[in-house]
Amino acid sequence: MIVGLIAMIAGVALCALVRPELPRTAETRWGLVILGIVIALYAGFRDGDRVNDYVIYVDMYEGGLTLVEPTFTLIALFVRHCLGDNVLFLFVIYAAIAVTLKLVAIERITPLMFFAVMIWLADTFPLHELTQIRTGVATGFFLLSIKPLYERKGVKFFLLILCATLFHVSSMLAFFLWFLSPGRINKPMWIAFIVVGYGLAMAQFDLFRLALYIPVSYVQEKVAMYLELQKGMSETVNPFGVGFLGKMVLTLFLLWRVEQIAFHNKYVYLLLKIMFIAFISLLLFSTNLAAGLRFHEFFRTAEILLFPLLYYTVRQKTVAWATLVLLAGLLLFVQITRYELIMPLQ
The pLDDT tens digits for 151-168 are: 999 999 999 999 999 999
Residue 173 clears pLDDT 70, i.e. is over it:
yes
State residue 316's pLDDT score: 95
The pLDDT tens digits for 309-346 are: 999 999 999 999 999 999 999 999 988 886 565 655 44
Residue 112 in contact with residue 20, Cβ under 8 Å?
A: yes
State residue 334's pLDDT score: 87
State residue 346's pLDDT score: 42
Mean of pLDDT values over 38-45: 95
Mean of pLDDT values over 187-216: 80
Residue 253 in contact with residue 245, Cβ under 8 Å?
A: no
Closest alpha carbon to 162 in 151, 153, 152, 171: 171
The pLDDT tens digits for 93-125 are: 999 999 999 999 999 999 999 999 999 999 999
240 pLDDT band, cuts 50/70/90, is confident
H or E segment at 332? Answer: helix 317-337
Sequence-ordered alpha helix ranges (H) in 62-130? 70-82, 88-109, 113-122, 124-128
* Helix pair angle (113-122, 317-337), 10° resolution: 20
> Distance between CA 300 and CA 283 in Å, rounded?
13
Residue 22 clears pLDDT 90, i.e. is over it:
yes
Q: Where are the domains positioned within the chain?
A: 1-175+316-346, 180-313
Q: Report in angstroms the alpha-carbon separations of 322 from 57, 122, 225, 318, 328.
A: 38, 15, 43, 6, 10
Q: Report in angstroms the alpha-carbon separations of 215 from 212, 220, 223, 225.
A: 8, 8, 12, 16
State residue 206's pLDDT score: 66
State residue 138's pLDDT score: 97
State residue 342's pLDDT score: 61
The pLDDT tens digits for 264-279 are: 999 999 999 999 999 9
State residue 204's pLDDT score: 75
181 or 64, greater pLDDT: 181
